[in-house]
Amino acid sequence: MVKIKQAEATLESLHRIFTVPEAPNSTLGEIEHAISQNLNRFLQDHIAATDCSLTEIEKDFNNPTIPDAPTFVSDHTAFLLEKLVAQSVHTSSPRFIGHMTSALPYFLMPLSKIMIALNQNTVKIETSKAFTPLERQVLGMLHNLIYQRNEDFYQSWMHSAAHSLGAFCSGGTIANITALWVARNSALKAEGDFNGVAEEGLFRAMRHYGYEDLVILVSERGHYSLKKSADVLGIGRESLVAIPTDENNRICLEKLSEKIVELKAKNIKPFALVGLAGTTETGNIDPLDHMADIAEREGMHFHVDAAWGGASLMSNNQRPKLKGIERADSVTIDAHKQLYVPMGAGMVLFKDPALVSAIEHHADYILRKGSKDLGSHTLEGSRSGMAMLLFASFNIIGRQGYELLIDQSIEKAAYFADLVEAQNDFELVSAPELCLMTYRYVPPTVKAALNVASPEHVDAIHTLLNDLTIFIQKRQREAGHSFVSRTCLTPSQWDRRTTNVFRVVLANPLTTREILQAVLDEQREIASTSSIALPKLLSLADTLLR
Ligand SMILES: *Cc1c(COP(=O)(O)O)cnc(C)c1O
């Protein structure tokens, strides 16, 4: 345990923390040096593979008192290294293949220091003179990636005060809320005596328009942030209507059309249709082109949630998979997923740069009418200059670099899917369309038993397999050698039975085929130590095969 020395609170020492950097031989100086020498080595050396439980870690963060007396920087840094860094999750490890959060290029470390040092607030020009045009340019680049409009279009709108090609925000959740906020306000806009939902609120808007209800349509694989959106926009979570998916986890167009007819007959207004370009759980892409047709026909706002999958547009080889995205009224993309920048970087892009007038806000001391303040078109207020890191990555990695990163992730996922299918004791549950896939462990005799079992016995086997999957995933996480996540699906090949699966996201370019093989070996090994689910499964299979 680090012994913390008490420092003195004097005005002079306080001035020093705003001016004098730490000496190179101080704890902080050594950390900076180590990170600049070899980022991965630093992380490897300092994140201990602890098997501390969360409850134990909570004991280190249990003191509700703000320290009265100051501490020396070095002492406190030593505490952070020991208690915070050491017990952190090694998300940048090539063996950490369970989530969309992954490794970052090293150049972002010194660049983010500059960003923080400049401390620009992009809510208004007065605190971000150069960062505002930069952010508008970055939004223009993403807009161009999706919508591919001509040079004149971007020269006209990129820096126009009353327009926005999009909004930079903290992540996909805020991006989705912003898109649906625009959609709601456009659907309930001012007309006649009615001043619009933004001014008069939902009660009066519904009275004016005479709708029985408002709903948002999305497939059952929609991200939970859409429910949050429906909640905060006053529409209610129940009014996010989940449309069933087909055997590839894509929205079923027939069911979608049927639902629209049903809603219209009840005077319920579906004002927005959300397409998914890379579902969070299975990575599949909805038939966006067909959905655009339906949205157009029905006068719905068409939003595409491409928070995770949108980055695939960087690859000309993958772009055809997202065909139709260019017809969306709005698109969400998270740069902190497959564009490899740190968290706090989401974006929503608008096909029509005038669409944001639906959510425009003004104030007297900033965001004045006609100003180019970004804050007049964003949900968030004060925001960092995060766009700088994305801009740097675009320049340093380039589209060609991203294409390579995206393509190799997808190839690796295809390889892993083949590897899983080649094992007699694993089962692929959802094949990868991008670099995300799901599978589970099923012993060979259980596979054989499933082929001959009655529906009731298949149910019983599934329940036990679910327990086994959860057991393996937890043990693997606790052991700390590698990490895959888990989720719960209703695959059509298993007649929509609730099925727990391992979920793998292959984003780290340093993940090797050997690592993937080792992940399966470890899971098989852990399965053999199951003392409840596995014996029950094997004996049930035995009985059924007898
Ligand atoms: C990750 C994700 C989100 C939410 O993004 P956050 O950045 O976590 O707020 C929304 N939709 C999809 C499809 C996602 O994958």
Is residue 171 in contact with ligand 1, taking CB distance under 6 Å?
A: yes
pTM above 0.75, yes or no: yes
Ligand 1 centroid, distance to 335 Cα (angstroms): 10
Residue 90 domain flag:
no
- State whether 410 and 525 are in the same domain: yes
Cβ 540 vs Cβ 461: under 8 Å: yes
Answer whether residue 3 shows pLDDT above 60.
no
The residue nearest atom 14 of ligand 1, judged by CA position, is 307
Residue 47 domain flag:
no
Radius of gyration of the chain (CA): 26
Residue 54 domain flag:
no
At which of 383, 408, 424 does a domain end? 383
Half-sphere exposure of 320 (CA within 13 A, CB side): 1
At which of 383, 408, 443 does a domain end? 383
- State whether 188 and 244 are in the same domain: yes
Is residue 280 in contact with ligand 1, taking CB distance under 6 Å?
A: yes
Residue 395 domain flag:
no
- State whether 353 and 477 are in the same domain: no
**Highest-pLDDT range among 24-38, 61-75, 463-477:** 463-477
Strand 240-243 versus strand 213-219 pairing type: parallel
Residue 169 domain flag:
yes
- State whether 170 and 277 are in the same domain: yes
- State whether 379 and 404 are in the same domain: no
- State whether 350 and 487 are in the same domain: no
SS3 346: strand
Residue 177 domain flag:
yes
The domain that contains 419 carries what CATH number? 3.90.1150.170
Answer whether residue 216 shows pLDDT above 70.
yes
Answer whether residue 369 shows pLDDT above 90.
no
- In the structure encoding, which two tokens stand for residue 81, read together? 């290294």
Is residue 334 in contact with ligand 1, taking CB distance under 6 Å?
A: yes
Work out which ligand 1 atom sits closest to the CA atom of 173. Answer: 9
Residue 459 domain flag:
yes
pLDDT tens track for 335-367: 999 999 999 999 999 999 999 888 888 777 767
Residue 22 domain flag:
no
Is residue 140 in contact with ligand 1, taking CB distance under 6 Å?
A: no
Which domain range does residue 514 map to?
Answer: 400-545
- State whether 376 and 435 are in the same domain: no
What pLDDT score does 368 carry?
Answer: 75
At which of 383, 408, 439 does a domain end? 383
- State whether 348 and 422 are in the same domain: no
Cβ 79 vs Cβ 117: under 8 Å: no
- State whether 329 and 426 are in the same domain: no
Name the residue with higher pLDDT: 83 or 13. Answer: 83
Task: Identify the weakest region by mean pLDDT among 22-36, 54-68, 183-197, 256-270.
Answer: 22-36
The arithmetic mean of pLDDT across residues 322-337, rounded, is 98
- State whether 280 and 419 are in the same domain: no
Work out which ligand 1 atom sits closest to the CA atom of 337. Answer: 1
Choosing from 226, 240, 251, 280 the residue with most ligand 1 atoms within 8 A of its CB, the one to mutate for a pocket test is 280
- State whether 138 and 251 are in the same domain: yes
Cβ 175 vs Cβ 334: under 8 Å: yes
What pLDDT score does 5 carry?
Answer: 65
In the predicted model, what is the mean pLDDT of the chain?
A: 94
Which amino acid, residue 271?
A: F
The domain that contains 371 carries what CATH number? 3.40.640.10
Is residue 170 in contact with ligand 1, taking CB distance under 6 Å?
A: no
* C-alpha 8: how far from chain center: 44
- State whether 347 and 422 are in the same domain: no
Q: How many domains does the chain have?
A: 2
Type and span of the H or E element at 273? strand 268-276
The residue nearest atom 6 of ligand 1, judged by CA position, is 172
